[in-house]
A and B are shown apart, each in its own frame.
Chain A
Amino acid sequence: MINIQNLVKTFGPKRAVDGVTFAVARGEVLGFLGPNGAGKSTTMRMITGFIPPTSGRVTVGGHDVVEEALAAKRLIGYLPEAAPSYPDMTVHGFLSFAADMRGLAGDAKLKAIGRVVELCFLASVLHQGIDTLSKGYKHRTCLAQALIHDPDVLVLDEPTDGLDPNQKHEVRNLIRELGRTKAVVFSTHILEEVDAACTRAIIIDRGRIVANGTPDELRGMSELAGAVTVHAAGADPVAMQDKLAGIAAVARVERVNGGVRAFPREKRAAGELARAVAELATREGWRLDALRTEEGQLDEVFRRITLPDTAKGADAAAGATA
């Protein structure tokens, strides 16, 4: 549904988005990750046609967002960053305005408003002025606006920003649910959301895509992925470390609070490594408290690929001394 090719946006000398290419199909929920200022919002603004690209092309549902702006915009529901709305309107007034702008009228309009009010839990504040609402309600009011015409494409810029944990949970579920029938792109800082809602994630840094894959694939890029951690009662960690280092498939062994972690030479050998460690434990008579294969951590992947090289070195050094 969304097709982006070689998208570039420059602001003066700064290349905010620098050659981004990706596609999102119906039924996909794409998480858009990246540090602040990486170009997430700028990319989303170009998808929704708010700002024109410097070069490159975006099509939504086959319509070029510059050439056939109106046709593309009709397909898109957009929640801008910071979820703006008109503070002098009531929630109902605002949603009614959004429905009018989307060309909904009569019964269809009433139904649409009823549907989004229910989806976004706005019934209790429906006739309140937006300026009197808490941040969470304001946010959901703007989200409701994005859903009012039941769009095929949803572009959500930080949809869970400013929500409490329960609301975050609800919104993530909502996004996952909507993703079954729509193409969804949403940006976030929160890495758990990738697991909770995405079918695929893209990490963008300084205007470029630095990683693109399913949450499991991204996690697999972690150094930790495939490592086996062992906790054993009464065993001497130093001795355990030596024994584990003796296994052929083990590249190196590290001490972690109260246990020992063995990193494989090759990530594919993960299952074998766990079995080898278990056999070793039986032979040595270790009383195992826990033995697990690490899946890898998204935040480690995220940090490793988005930190500038110098900071990466410092980070690694800090990790080594710790």
Chain B
Amino acid sequence: MTGARSTSWKAIRTIARRELVSYFTSPVAYVFLVIFLLLTGFFTFTAGAFFERGEASLASFFVWQPWLYLVLVPAVGMRLWSEERRSGTLELLLTFPVATWQAILGKFLASWAFLAIALVLTFPVILTVNVLGDPDNGVIAAGYLGSLLLAGAYLAIACMTSAMTRNQVVAFILAVVICLFLILAGFNPVTDLLTRWASPAFVDAVAGFSVMTHFDGFQKGVIALRDLVFFLSVIGFALFATSVIIRGHRAG
């Protein structure tokens, strides 16, 4: 059994490596990284009033991320499957001796790793806050973990919409809409509006589907099991849906 497992990981690694390298052989990766870092900087220091807050934390850094990722993560994920379908390489990929789930996981992990690289490159904010004050680095670490999971959830959704169409723009827009819904379900102005006419239990149930609700804990430094489970199940569900969609296309 270990033999089978190691060959199956090898196939996933091979696909992931190819995918990750392909990000960096096109200018897309560098454009994305520059824009991501510029926007992160702008939101943290200008819009987030990092200095005016007068506290040694990265709250102003994390609080914007659901919105920032809303646009940027689907841009990373939109090409995953639509490009393979458009160029016909899907036929090549799926006739290699790999299972569909291995191909999906390999491609997802590659783009997630790419987002992790982007996140790692935000390290100057950690240095800044540590030079200027004495922050709780445990809270920051939890925030980063939450941020990575948040990006993974958006990415899995973009992966799913990308499998639906061979048009990257359509995949992008669908992913943004779905992710926006996942934000708004727990966005304070929206939940406030809901409480006026719905029961608190209903509002809570809706908010339970939101990334905002589950990202909140991480920002405060709390790594709760239910938040972890939430993000991992969004990822798991979206990737499973991807496999169903891909199988559906082939069944004709």
Which of A's residues lie within 8 Å of B, judged by CB? 9-12, 45, 48-52, 69-70, 73-74, 76, 78, 80-82, 84-89, 93, 97-98, 100-103, 142, 145
Contacts and interface: CB of A to CB of B under 8 A. Distances in A.
Given A50-B250, A102-B96, A103-B10, A45 B18 contact: no
Contacts of B11: 101
B27 to A, nearest CB: 11
Given A88-B25, A88-B26, A50 B91 contact: yes
A78 to B, nearest CB: 5
B46 interface: no
B82 to A, nearest CB: 14
Q: How large is the interface on B (under 10, 10 to 19, 20 to 34, 35 or more residues)?
A: 20 to 34
A50 B87 contact: no
A84 B250 contact: no
Nearest to A87: B87
Q: Give the interface SS of chain B, mostly helix, strand, loop or mixed.
A: helix
Nearest to A90: B25
Given A87-B87, A88-B22, A88-B26, A52 B250 contact: yes
Contacts of B22: 86, 88-89
A101 B26 CA distance: 23
B88 A51 contact: no
A50 B97 contact: no
A76 B25 CA distance: 30
Closest 9 CB pairs of A and B: A84-B88, A73-B97, A100-B14, A101-B96, A80-B91, A11-B252, A51-B250, A48-B95, A84-B89
Contacts of B88: 80-82, 84
A85 B92 contact: yes
Interface in B1-53: 7, 10-11, 14-15, 18, 21-22, 25-26
A78 B95 contact: yes
Interface in B154-213: none
B89 A86 contact: yes
B98 interface: yes
Nearest to A47: B95
A84 B87 contact: yes
A101 B97 contact: yes
Interface string B62-90: 00000000000000000000000001110
17 contacts: A51-B252, A52-B250, A70-B97, A73-B97, A78-B92, A80-B91, A81-B88, A84-B88, A84-B91, A86-B89, A89-B25, A100-B10, A101-B11, A101-B14, A102-B96, A142-B92, A145-B92
Interface in B238-252: 250-252
A97 B14 contact: yes
B95 to A, nearest CB: 5
A80 B92 contact: yes
Nearest to A80: B91
B89 A50 contact: no
A71 to B, nearest CB: 8
Contacts of B95: 48-50, 73, 76, 78, 80
Nearest to A142: B92
B30 to A, nearest CB: 14
Contact of B97 (A11, A52, A102, A142): A102
Nearest to A71: B97
B96 A73 contact: yes
A109 B98 CA distance: 18
A9 B250 CA distance: 11
B117 interface: no
Residue among B7, B15, B26, B96 facing the most chain A CB atoms (10 A cut-off):
B96
B99 interface: yes
A9 B92 contact: no
A12 B94 CA distance: 23
A144 to B, nearest CB: 12
